[in-house]
Amino acid sequence: MISWKNPTKEDRELGLEDYRQLGVMAALGVVAAIMPHQKVHGVGYCLGGTLLSIAAAAMARDGDERLQSITLLAAQQDFTEAGELTLFMNESQVHFLEDLMWSQGYLDTKQMAGAFQLLRSQDLIWSRMVQEYLLGERAPMMDLMAWNADATRLPFRMHSEYLRQLFLNNDLAEGRFRVEGRPIALTDIRAPIFAVGTERDHVAPWRSAFKIQLLTDTDVTFLLTTGGHNAGIVSEPGHGGRSYRVLTKGAEDRYIAADAWCSVARKGDGSWWPEWIAWLGERSGAPRLPLRMGAPGYEPLADAPGQYVLQP
């Protein structure tokens, strides 16, 4: 699991390529050094899933076969149907954000969180104002809400590239996104994909995440679960009221539109996690004991939870 650094103004020039190389590829390099000749089940959540898609397409282009499978959790590759967030994103708004980030070197957590709260203002702003300010009834803190409140900043260059190349221009889905000076194509990916969307996702609408089936030529298992962007993913077994739909599209199968998919996908009750575990198990070798922490040359740098998570 990668613990992302919370960037400061000194990190303003870190771009998407830095996140790919210093995050995804560096982690794969360490895994290969400690466990040579072993393939990896890659998992990416939200923007991490978009970065994993970029890395996987570049690896496929270059003949790098270290990925055994790819799991994308509430992640987008095509941004033409990004939901209500498109109301906030146009050329003038991106230009405004770039000016704002240029002066401080990053997008602040409060600025980013505010935009997402507006997408669900009834739940995340007004109902809370009535409950806490007018009625004086403060809801107890939950572990999921505490995690949700622990946001991270985004460096100027990386966020600008994300907004312009991916969100406005849709370069990744349309084959214009470049890695190391050459374009990548999601159709090059051959590792099987497990993609998860959530019914009430206000950040990565499920119909947008669903498009991974249209953009790739590999086996894609798409699972749609109840809940939203956070609670729908962090949906442990035993969590009441959960259900999901799931269907696998083979590389040779015809594409099914999102609404038609809902009518034919298999229904399941409860958490979707066991479904994913079974899918991974079918694509894994025999179980083995985990390695001890601290392989030669890769001793732990600090006690858990590490250094980045403690940064202000």
Q: How far is CA 282 from CA 45, 221, 275, 285, 286, in A?
A: 22, 13, 11, 8, 10
The pLDDT tens digits of the residues spanning 56-88 come to: 999 999 999 999 999 999 999 999 988 777 767
Annotated catalytic residue: which of 16, 24, 46, 220?
A: 46
Q: Could you identify the residue written with the tokens 């994993």?
A: 52
Name the token pair of 16.
């998407």
**Does 12 score more than 90 pLDDT?**
yes
**Does 253 score more than 60 pLDDT?**
yes
Q: Look at residue 114 in the predicted model and tell me its pLDDT.
A: 53
Q: Is-catalytic flag, 262?
A: no
Contact between 261 and 288 under an 8 Å Cβ cutoff? The reply is no
Q: Look at residue 259 in the predicted model and tell me its pLDDT.
A: 93
Q: Does the bond joining 155 to the residue before it have cis omega, within 30 degrees of 0? A: no
Query: Domains (ranges, CATH) in the chain?
Result: 9-108+153-310 (3.40.50)
Name the token pair of 104.
């401080």
Instruction: Identify which has the larger pLDDT, 256 or 2.
Output: 256
**Does 256 score more than 80 pLDDT?**
yes
Q: Look at residue 118 in the predicted model and tell me its pLDDT.
A: 47
Contact between 207 and 258 under an 8 Å Cβ cutoff? The reply is yes
Q: Specify burial of residue 135 (Cβ count, 10 A radius: 0-12, 13-18, 19+).
A: exposed
The pLDDT tens digits of the residues spanning 187-210 come to: 999 999 999 999 999 889 999 999
**Does 115 score more than 60 pLDDT?**
no
Residue 160 phi/psi, 5° resolution?
Answer: -65, -45
The model's pTM is: 0.89
* Partners of residue 246 on adjacent β-strands: 223, 266
